[in-house]
């Protein structure tokens, strides 16, 4: 069934589902007291940080508007001490047909709650659950291949730094500013390094880490340092802090690549001069992914106890091609970039990953770049 067809019957399905589950066990289960589908979104961070958490929230709101579902939200504000007790408390009520959450930092909390309350359905986005031995049959985990989006960012950065683009310099140097050295950010870094090397292994990659997702001043400082060391393109993978790197790009007259959201579009009205320096943003399309999963949940086709990865070929991630991309990227760069994206779409390119890799393996990827620390 296509997405369009699903939406045509979704209201009817939601009502039918609500009636059926009303008879279910309420011990951490999915029973409801009326016909309204009830969803709790446990956000490990804070909404408004221009990250995937906001994209998931947008999809949930649109789903609620289309179906009449009730969506509640609990924000943990990055307080790790709240993750497990919040998941337990929500699951124990038996009030919600579905709990939605995201990210690796919620993984343990999800597994604990799922085991304690086996009737409670949970979707975990942007992370992976191991379902060995038929464990967690009430959970579904879903990821997009962030390393592939980062690979494309590396490809574009490598092509731009060697091109005749207006702000490209003669140095074969690009940069990367990450939030923290966790698995997800290192996965971005691995993909980025591989993308740059796919273009030219002699291009140096400077990398550094802010330590969080919100310190715009620190991100700007790191960006300025990388630009002054010869980078003409810096990929910022640090949420809203990445706006600091964009400001550094404007001040030094260089290029920036954002992440998660279309950064240029987000600030074009409030900060048009900075937007002009943001070539593109690497995005994991969690709006479409979330809507797909919610629709599958509502129509009963979701596969519980499974993990799914949306790769580039399935539309899981990409680089946005907005007006700034079209203005900045030279024709010869665009031609080669499109050739490489076609190869990735055909799965002819296998991108390295930090997911499931040992630290030794990750360090080998990093050794192919020039590390920068301050």
DSSP 182-233: SHHHHHHHHHHHHHHHHH-TTSEEEEEE-SSS--HHHHHHHHHHHHHTT-SE
Q: Which residues pair with 225 in a beta bridge?
A: none
**Do residues 254 and 231 touch, judged by C-beta distance below 8 A?**
yes
Judge if 3-144 and 146-283+317-371 fold alike in CATH terms: yes
- Could you tell me whether strands 204-209 and 139-144 are parallel, antiparallel, or unpaired per DSSP bridges? unpaired
Q: Which two tokens stand for residue 93?
A: 């009520």
- Average pLDDT estimate for 171-198: 94
pTM confidence score: 0.79
- State residue 125 phi and psi, 5-degree precision: -95, 150
Q: Which CATH number fits domain 3-144: 2.60.40.10, 3.40.50.2300, 3.90.226.10, 3.20.20.140?
A: 3.40.50.2300
Quote the tokens at residue 315.
């539309």
The domain locations on the chain are 3-144, 146-283+317-371
Backbone angles phi, psi at 71, to 5 degrees: -115, 120
CATH 3.40.50.2300 for domain 146-283+317-371: yes
User: What does pLDDT average to over the chain?
Assistant: 88
Nearest to 121 by CA among 103, 132, 137: 137
- In this structure, are strands 278-284 and 317-319 parallel, antiparallel, or unpaired? antiparallel
Write the pLDDT tens digit of every residue in 340-374: 999 999 999 999 998 888 888 888 888 888 544 33
HSE-up of 18 (CA within 13 Å, CB side)? 20
pLDDT at residue 48 tops 50? yes
pLDDT at 336: 98
């Amino acid at each position: 069934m296509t997405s369009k067809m699903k939406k045509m019957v979704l209201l009817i399905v939601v009502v039918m589902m609500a009636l059926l589950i009303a008879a279910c066990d309420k011990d951490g289960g999915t029973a409801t007291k009326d016909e309204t589908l009830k969803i709790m979104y446990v956000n490990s961070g804070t909404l408004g940080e221009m990250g995937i958490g906001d994209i998931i929230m947008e999809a949930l709101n649109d789903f609620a508007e289309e179906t009449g579902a009730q969506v509640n939200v609990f924000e943990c504000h990055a307080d790790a001490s709240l993750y497990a007790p919040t998941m337990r408390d929500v699951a124990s009520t038996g009030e919600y047909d579905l709990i939605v959450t995201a990210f690796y930092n919620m993984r343990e909390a999800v597994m604990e709650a799922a085991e304690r309350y086996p009737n409670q359905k949970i979707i975990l986005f942007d992370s992976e659950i191991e379902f060995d031995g038929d464990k967690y049959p009430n959970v579904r985990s879903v990821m997009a291949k962030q390393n592939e989006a980062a690979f494309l960012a590396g490809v574009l950065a490598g092509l731009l730094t060697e091109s005749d683009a207006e702000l490209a310099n003669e140095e074969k140097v690009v940069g990367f500013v990450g939030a923290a050295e966790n698995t997800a950010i290192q996965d971005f870094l691995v993909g980025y390094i591989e993308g740059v090397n796919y273009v030219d292994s002699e291009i140096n990659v400077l990398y550094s880490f802010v330590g969080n997702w919100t310190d715009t001043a620190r991100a700007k400082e790191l960006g300025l340092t990388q630009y002054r060391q010869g980078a003409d393109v810096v990929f910022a993978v640090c949420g809203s802090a990445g706006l600091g790197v964009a400001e550094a790009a404007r001040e030094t007259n260089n290029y920036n690549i954002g992440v998660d959201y279309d950064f240029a579009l987000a600030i074009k009205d409030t900060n048009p001069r900075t937007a002009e320096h943001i070539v593109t943003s690497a995005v994991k399309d969690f709006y479409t992914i979330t809507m797909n999963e919610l629709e599958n949940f509502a129509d009963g086709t979701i596969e519980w106890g499974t993990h799914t990865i949306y790769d580039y070929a399935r539309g899981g991630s990409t680089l946005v091609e907005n007006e700034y991309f079209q203005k900045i990227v030279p024709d010869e760069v665009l031609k080669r970039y499109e050739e490489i994206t076609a190869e990735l779409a055909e799965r002819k390119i296998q991108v390295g990953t930090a997911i499931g890799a040992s630290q030794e393996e990750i360090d080998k990827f990093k050794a192919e770049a020039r590390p920068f620390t301050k």
